[in-house]
Structure 1
Amino acid sequence: MQIPIDVLIVACLCLAAALVSGCDSNSSSGKNVTYSDLSGDPIAVDGKVLVVNYWAEWCKPCREEIPELNQFQQSNQDRVQVIGISFDDLPVAEIRRQADKFGIAFPVLPREPEARWGQPRPQVLPTTLLIDAEGNWRESLVGPQSLESLEQALSRVVPSVEGESGAE
């Protein structure tokens, strides 16, 4: 039995579309996505809540909250991964220079992910997105954050960690 060519073409196109849609590493949910830091090294995010912070050199509140984000990452490294994204579209070398200048101790992405977890690009800085361990956007925090506000936000994303700040 011979299959008509038009049926074969349609079947191949449907198969190709299904394969391509399942392989998008920039899916809007953020699931099954790998991230790399400014050096190209992978960032371990599996099973962790992502705390994605948008910052810029010219943003004074951004610079002021960096020590809080550093401490939050250090205190919660077993269940949280803080990731920085420079709001400005700059070359990697310039982003690295700025990150070093401000003492950013968490990984910074070389560019903003296309899908942004289904969220629009922030219009106010600093803005921090909370992405649950399954890769789903849960909350946006606008304005500078403190260690306390980050801990409270984490308890809303993962209620079972309430009261377990990880800090001694």
Structure 2
Amino acid sequence: MTRRLAAALAIIGTLMLGGCGNDYGIDQDGHKIAADRLDGKWLVLNYWAEWCGPCRTEIPELNALAEQLKDKKIGVFGVNFDNVQGQELKGASEKLGIRFTVLAQDPSELFELPRSEALPVTYIIDNKGKVREQLMGEQTAAGVMAKLEALQAKN
């Protein structure tokens, strides 16, 4: 009887947790990324690499953009192009001075992002999870902000 109860509780628990939204894994510091940080919000998703010169120049602009957008329903997130993990991801993020959240797991499949072999590349994703813009090359905070405002005005 006890085994059946335990099995039933395990199944119920799994079903309840299954409806808790998307799992976005962890960030560069190993902290869990709650679904409410991305779901239902506009996203600026930047792919970078430590060896990419234009990425290094662009990071301060993205830091400024993230600060500018922190009280709005728009998030700035990074993804390491080389898929480094753990301490290597933390170290690379610190070395480049990244102050916005870096996703340890690449969300390209989730958002159906077109693959890019060039860096840096930044995607603007709307609050329904649809890619609205692919920005190739180095971006500025003002340029991305203008693009966001134009896209949101059309929404």
- Name the CA distance, whole Å, in 2 between partners of 1:127 and 1:133: 20
Q: Is the 8 A contact 1:130 1:157 kept in 2?
A: no
What is the TM-score with the length of structure 1 in the denominator?
0.71
Structure 1 equivalent of residue 142 of structure 2: 148
Higher helix proportion, which one?
2
5+ long unaligned stretches in structure 1: 1-22, 26-31, 161-168
- C-alpha displacement of 1:118: 1.4
The total of aligned residue pairs comes to 132
Structure 2 equivalent of residue 76 of structure 1: 69
| Identical-pair percentage | 37
- Name the CA distance, whole Å, in 1 between partners of 2:123 and 2:39: 17
Structure 2 equivalent of residue 104 of structure 1: 98
Equivalent residue in structure 2 for 1:52, among 21, 45, 60: 45
5+ long unaligned stretches in structure 2: 1-17
The amino acid that maps onto 2:113 is Q
Which SS does the other structure have where 2:93 is aligned?
A: helix
- Name the CA distance, whole Å, in 2 between partners of 1:144 and 1:82: 15
- Name the CA distance, whole Å, in 1 between partners of 2:122 and 2:129: 15
Structure 2 equivalent of residue 37 of structure 1: 27
Q: Which moved more, 1:114-123 or 1:143-152?
A: 114-123
What is the TM-score with the length of structure 2 in the denominator?
0.76
Which SS does the other structure have where 1:51 is aligned?
A: strand
- Name the CA distance, whole Å, in 1 between partners of 2:151 and 2:73: 12
- Name the CA distance, whole Å, in 1 between partners of 2:38 and 2:112: 18
- Displaced runs of 4 or more, over 3 A: none
